[in-house]
Amino acid sequence: MAMLSEKQYLDLYQSSSRMIKKNSAEVLNAVRDAAFEDFRRLGFPSRKVERYKYTDMSAIFEPDYGLNLNRLEIPVDPYEAFRCDVPNLSTSLYFVVNDAFYNKALPKVELPEGVIVDSLSKIASENPEFIGKYYAKIAKTDEDGITALNTFLAQDGLLIYVPKNVKVERTIQVINILRSDVDLMVNRRVLIVMEQGAEAKFLFCDHAADDKNFLATQVIEAYVGENASLDLYCLEETHYKNRRVSNVYIEQQANSRVNHNVITLHNGITRNRLDLVFKGEGAECFCNGCVIADKNQVLITIRSSIIRWVIVPATSFISMYLMVRHVVLLQVECWFVMVPRRLFLRKPTRTSVQRRLPVCSPSRCWRFMQMM
């Protein structure tokens, strides 16, 4: 029997699935019913699940939030709602309002030929074969209840595509603005496709424009082709009333490079999950996290590495630094994760090697922040 927090989402989809599908693209709709059945079976992960042992997911999703299923336009001036505190930051600036791509404020500087930054739903309607090749392929709904929930509720999001051997010199910055006059749940989807030899840097910034209770689920799927390079920075600066659950899935081909950095400056409860899939020799991923927290702010980061086929040597370096405002340094935990060099031709397996390192010194932590 479904718990109360799960039941409201099951009832919501059963009563509103037609409305959800009407205001989205067919490619996104094609996987909704299966994702719903996966969620019905899995529910919200309990603390008995290793990756969720520190988080009461049912409590996060229990409040009654509103959802903009009819895709009503939210009145907002993104330039008024967001002010970047970083001086002289030269980027190509885009906005996502709640979970919808904002097409009324686009950068004046043109992107290289073939590069696409646009609404996921729009491109899925225009080119369903392309989106269908990638959408919900590595973010598997039968393995995680949160991913399943996002998949059957998400109606739009962001698509970023970089063609073969194209190098995007200018950083692409995406501002995710939470804007509502009532307590609101948003379900954001991001699809990043980097073709062979492509290079690009992205900065995603989460910002809350209103003092309301927000619940944001986010699923990012990033496909990084052979010899491609992806730098993905995620910066969160919201408020105590924000609940954010983000699942990031990255698939890398041979000799690809990913640099993934997550920085949380202000939040309520944040949960980041990172899944890495290495599918070629020489692929490497460097992951760093920095959290500045005080009072009742909570952040949990979970990661795993999945090896498919033969990957030698694939490396994944993950470190996490926690600092507390008004206290020089509370505690720092670092994880060093490395995919073994000696791999075998066999069925795909999960590798999760952790080594607890000594507590870092404050000076090392500050040097890390300066590097980012």
Sheet containing strand 91-97, edge to edge, reads 100-102, 91-97, 171-178, 199-208, 229-237, 257-266, 284-293, 315-324
Quick: pLDDT tens for 111-170.
999 999 999 999 999 999 999 999 999 999 999 999 999 999 999 999 999 999 999 999
Buried/exposed 185-206: b ≥16 CB within 10 Å, e otherwise: bbbbbbbbbbbbbbbbbbbbbb
| Residue 79 neighbours by CB distance under 10 Å | 11
Q: Return the domain boundaries, the chain.
A: 4-371
What pLDDT is stored for residue 13 in this prediction?
Answer: 97
pLDDT computed for residue 251 by the predictor: 96
Cα–Cα distance, 156 to 122 (Å, whole number): 8
CA dist 54 and 77 (Å) reads: 38
Q: Which residues pair with 161 in a beta bridge?
A: 116, 193
What pLDDT, on the 0 to 100 scale, is given for residue 345?
30
Residue by residue, what is the 3-state secondary structure of 39-86?
HHHHCCCCCCCHHHCCCCHHHHHCCCCECCCCCCCCCCCHHHHCCCCC
pLDDT digits (tens, 9 = 90+) for 1-50: 457 789 999 999 999 999 999 999 999 999 999 999 999 999 999 888 87
**β partners of residue 321:** 290
Residue 125, φ and ψ in degrees, nearest 5 = -75, -35
Residue with tokens 């890495």: 276
Q: What is the rounded distance in angstroms from the CA atom of residue 331 to the CA atom of residue 339? A: 26
What phi and psi values does residue 266 have, to the nearest 5 degrees? -155, 135
| Residue 44 phi, psi (nearest 5) | -75, 140
Name residues of the chain where pLDDT drops below 50: 1, 307-372
Collect all residues with Cβ–Cβ distance below 8 Å to 232 and sequence separation of at least 6. Answer: 192, 202, 204, 222, 258, 259, 260, 261
Alpha carbon distance 32, 6 (integer Å): 16
For the chain, what's the residue count?
372
Q: Are 238 and 264 in contact (CB under 8 A)?
A: no
pLDDT at 338: 31
**Helix 4-22 × helix 145-153 angle, to 10°:** 30
Q: How far is CA 192 from CA 58, 121, 131, 237, 266, in A?
A: 29, 14, 10, 23, 26
pLDDT of residue 296: 65
